[in-house]
Amino acid sequence: MAITEDLAVIHDPLSEQLGHVEQHGVDFIPESERWASPKAIFGMWAGASVQIEYFIYGCILMTFGLTFLQAVVIIVVGNLSYFLLGLCSLQGPQTGTTVFAINRAAYGPNGGRPISFFNWITQIGFEVEGLILIVGAGIVLITKAGFGFGDPAKIILVIGAVVIQGVMPFLGHATIVKTLRSLALPFVVIFAIVLGFTASHAHFSGAHSADWQTCLEGLAFTFALSGLGWTECGNDYTRYCPADTSKKGIVGWVFLGTAVPEILVMVLGAVVATSIKGIGQGTGGFLALAHQSIIPAWFVVVFMIFVAVQLFCINSLDMYSSGVTLQAIGIPIKRWQAVIVDCVIALGVTMYAVFNSSFNTYLGDFVDVVIVWIAPWMAIYLVDWYLRRQRYVPAELQKTGPDSMYWHSGGVFWPAIIAQVVGMIAAIEGLSATFKLPHWLNEITFHTHDAFGYGADFSVFLGVGVGGLVYLVLASGSVRKQADAQDVLLGTAA
């Protein structure tokens, strides 16, 4: 039965859509199918936030050489970036479409394609992160069962994880929301038990304070893996909210469902890292849990089983956004076909990562890539929205040819492309990368290095500030004129 037919006869649209293969891609969502509310979006994000990856991030943050108090301050400040996710979730209800369909207005239908490609790569990167951790959970379970693990076991775990992870994204948004909401409470209980086992063993003092350069590096790490790293996905879910949904409600519920639980979970990770060393490092990230005596073995087994289930669900969010991003690029592919493409690519990358690097090395490299393109893009996206008086013409966003009012010049809006490139260069100049960059490309970090040779990380601030400012200067006049034309089409001209 089609989704539209079901909605006509079932009272609860979310329950009705659960288990059905979603047919929507980047197309406009009719008002009759706008079943979501800010509270429903809160439930999805809360389920995606009370999760193991943020626990791991908190553990890894303690390896930067921070004191516990410094780590807590960085976690709180870094997670304030979820306010940006709230702002980048406000366009979906009015436009009824996904982030990178909306992005056609700022960059042009053709100019937005490379940006969409960056996002697709980013989503695959997050998928691989989840797969590595799933393999890590499997390795712990094998170890606790008394078996050794070698390369054949890793191969089997990776292939099995990729096959299983492809199921939920086929079903779509409603199934993802419902499943993630159902997992939030069990993980609250699990994390509370972990805290109970480890709190008395934690060491909150004794370490020397890290210098300001290291603190900025930790803040960039937290920004990229919290709100900033999700800004390119927000409207993929709020597009199911009615057009007149409260903007304050969306920002407030999104922030409450993300920043608050993630602060608590990351702090828990930092607490545990003071007593159990090595979590987030080595093959799969979890091996340290198999060789410690603080948390009972039976609970480690239960913990890892729940972790694997949750990570499959978290990966489904990434695969969902990845699929609609491929469509936004203009590739003639159905969303379920995009899931298969992602699975194949993720299989190869995960195999490489599992056999050639530790989890924290992969994560560090990945964070650098995320910051460089997302920081300026997010600023350009929000500045463009502001200049357009916070609205677009939905029908025009669905057009990808010269007949679209957002076609600009050859399908490219060059002020956005220039601002993106300049913003990315600025971000690289201030990036404290996990790999060595030439001095001429990394001047700010090079000239702010500490006694250990590590430079300060201004990448997020430079990427956002420079990218947004350059776009405002170059595009303000022409975008405001186009906003007037939009108002005529929307019937809202003064």
Q: What is the CATH number of domain 3-490?
A: 1.10.4160.10
Overall average pLDDT of the 424-440 stretch: 81
* Separation between Cα atoms, residue 246 and residue 268, nearest integer Å: 33
pLDDT surpasses 80 at 194? yes
Overall average pLDDT of the 276-288 stretch: 86
Helix axes 247-273, 38-49, angle to 10 degrees: 10
Comparing 361 with 405, the larger pLDDT belongs to 405
pLDDT surpasses 90 at 90? yes
**In 274-330, which residue ranges form alpha helices assigned H by DSSP?**
287-290, 297-329
pLDDT surpasses 50 at 113? yes
pLDDT surpasses 90 at 265? yes
* Separation between Cα atoms, residue 472 and residue 445, nearest integer Å: 26
Q: Please give the pLDDT value at position 85.
A: 96
Give the least confident one: 18-22, 441-445, 486-490.
18-22
Task: Output the average pLDDT for the chain.
Answer: 85
pLDDT surpasses 80 at 395? yes
7 C-beta neighbours (distance < 10 Å), count: 18
Overall average pLDDT of the 452-467 stretch: 85
CB distance 467 to 423 below 8 Å? yes
Overall average pLDDT of the 98-115 stretch: 93
* Separation between Cα atoms, residue 373 and residue 351, nearest integer Å: 25
CA 406 to chain centroid: 27
pLDDT surpasses 60 at 5? no
CB distance 180 to 42 below 8 Å? no
Q: What is the pLDDT of residues 48-66, one digit of tens each?
A: 888 899 999 999 999 998 9
Q: Please give the pLDDT value at position 452.
A: 52
Conformation bin of residue 310: beta by default, left when phi > 0, alpha when psi is -120 to 50? alpha
Q: Please give the pLDDT value at position 25.
A: 57
Comparing 7 with 150, the larger pLDDT belongs to 150
Q: Please give the pLDDT value at position 450.
A: 60
Overall average pLDDT of the 102-117 stretch: 93
Highest mean pLDDT among 223-232, 326-335, 357-366, 485-494: 223-232
Q: Please give the pLDDT value at position 1.
A: 30
Highest mean pLDDT among 302-311, 316-325, 433-442, 457-466: 457-466
* Separation between Cα atoms, residue 70 and residue 184, nearest integer Å: 28
- DSSP string of 218-254, one letter each residue: HHHHHHHHTHHHHTTTTHHHHTTS-TT--HHHHHHHH
Q: What is the pLDDT of residues 131-162, one digit of tens each?
A: 888 888 988 898 888 776 677 878 888 888 88
Q: Please give the pLDDT value at position 176.
A: 66
Q: What is the pLDDT of residues 203-222, one digit of tens each?
A: 887 667 888 888 999 999 99
pLDDT surpasses 60 at 256? yes
Percent of the chain with pLDDT over 70: 88
pLDDT surpasses 60 at 470? yes
What's this model's pTM, rounded to 2 decimal places?
0.86
476 C-beta neighbours (distance < 10 Å), count: 13
Give the least confident one: 211-225, 249-263, 360-374.
360-374
Q: Please give the pLDDT value at position 18.
A: 47
CB distance 223 to 460 below 8 Å? yes
* Separation between Cα atoms, residue 462 and residue 431, nearest integer Å: 9
